[in-house]
């Protein structure tokens, strides 16, 4: 099968203008070997914020899990101001392609730790999470193993409300720890931030048991460790092309991953 044949006939979406590949030949080889191995060897692992949820809709930014809380009435104005300050300080660092991951990692841990500490002071009630997600602008673009540095309780509510929390969807994320009266007291387990997903995966060996029989992974993300692909994506394009097999530019759909899954199954 020729490259053109696969691209044009089997997965026409790969000819979408949003699709960029450093090495199309390599992508073809990977997809062919995945098809050959069979669909029972394939699994999907995906990031959540800005990958399964949209970056923007009608020109307006869509929220991350954390932003859903930041914008909600569950937080005091003082807390919102503090979180906004953190966002203004750390988000530019997150998307700064001139800094190395090594340089950014401790700063990201600082951001997540400070933000979670602020949230924990807010007596957030579990029974109100459904409402704030309902009132937010979060939008889903699909369903798998969702590995997110966002907030598990919020993320689950987003996919539940979109009606796609199917039994085959598993989530690794930062989960909230509520006391017996249903008020947020802490975050459970090890902190997941955008640059320690690998360590997180190694801690969750149970979940990855399946990975052994499914070595063919369609991995979806919006970041090199997992940073939001913002308007400045162009300047980061080269490092994305060097790291991801397929890079989608300004593509708010899952047409390409869906087309690949269709091809593989
Ligand atoms: O699901 P994902 O791993 O993408 O979630 C991480 C995202 O959450 C990051 O890209 C980061 O910009 C965002 N974040 C946030 N507020 C925080 C911490 C992280 O919006 N306090
Ligand atoms: Mg993301």
pLDDT tens digits for 79-104? Answer: 999 999 999 999 999 989 899 989 99
State the pLDDT at residue 78: 96
pLDDT by residue (tens digit) across 110-144?
Answer: 999 999 999 999 999 999 888 888 888 766 553 37
Mean pLDDT of the chain: 83
pTM of this structure: 0.75
Q: What are phi and psi of 31, to 5 degrees?
A: -65, -40
Q: Which residues have a beta carbon within 5 Å of ligand 2, which is an ion? A: 47, 49-50, 222, 226
The mean per-residue pLDDT over the stretch 188-194 comes to 89
Name the nearest CA neighbour of 225 among 257, 193, 255, 186: 193
What number is the ipTM of this complex?
A: 0.90
Q: How much of the chain, in percent, has pLDDT values that exceed 90?
A: 38
Name every protein residue with a CB atom under 6 angstroms from any ligand 1 atom.
47-50, 64, 66-67, 91, 94, 111-112, 115, 148-150, 194, 226-228
Query: Would you tell me the crossing angle of helices 255-264 and 24-37 to the nearest 10 degrees?
Result: 40
């Amino acid at each position: 099968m020729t490259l053109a044949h696969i691209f044009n006939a089997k997965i026409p979406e790969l000819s979408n203008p949003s699709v960029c590949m450093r090495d199309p030949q390599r992508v073809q080889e990977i997809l062919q070997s995945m098809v050959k191995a069979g669909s029972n060897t394939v699994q999907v692992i995906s990031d959540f914020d800005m990958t399964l949820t949209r970056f923007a809709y009608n020109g307006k930014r869509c929220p991350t899990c954390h932003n859903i809380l930041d914008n909600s009435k569950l937080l005091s104005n003082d807390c919102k101001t503090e979180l906004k300050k953190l966002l203004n300080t750390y988000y530019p660092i997150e998307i700064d392609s001139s800094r190395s991951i090594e340089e950014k990692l401790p700063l990201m841990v600082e951001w997540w730790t400070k933000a979670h500490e602020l949230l924990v002071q807010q007596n957030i009630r579990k029974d109100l999470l459904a409402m704030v997600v309902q009132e937010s602008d979060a939008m889903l673009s699909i369903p798998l193993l969702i590995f997110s540095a966002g907030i598990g309780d919020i993320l689950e509510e987003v996919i539940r409300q979109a009606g796609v929390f199917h039994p085959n969807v598993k989530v690794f994320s930062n989960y909230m720890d509520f006391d017996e009266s249903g008020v947020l007291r802490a975050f459970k387990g090890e902190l997941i931030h955008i640059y320690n997903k690998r360590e997180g995966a190694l801690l969750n060996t149970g979940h990855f048991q399946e990975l052994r029989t499914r070595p063919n992974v369609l991995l979806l993300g919006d970041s090199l460790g997992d940073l939001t692909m913002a308007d400045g994506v162009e300047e980061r394009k080269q490092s994305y092309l060097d790291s991801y097999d397929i890079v989608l530019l300004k593509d708010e759909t899952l047409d390409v991953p869906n087309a690949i899954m269709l091809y593989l199954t």
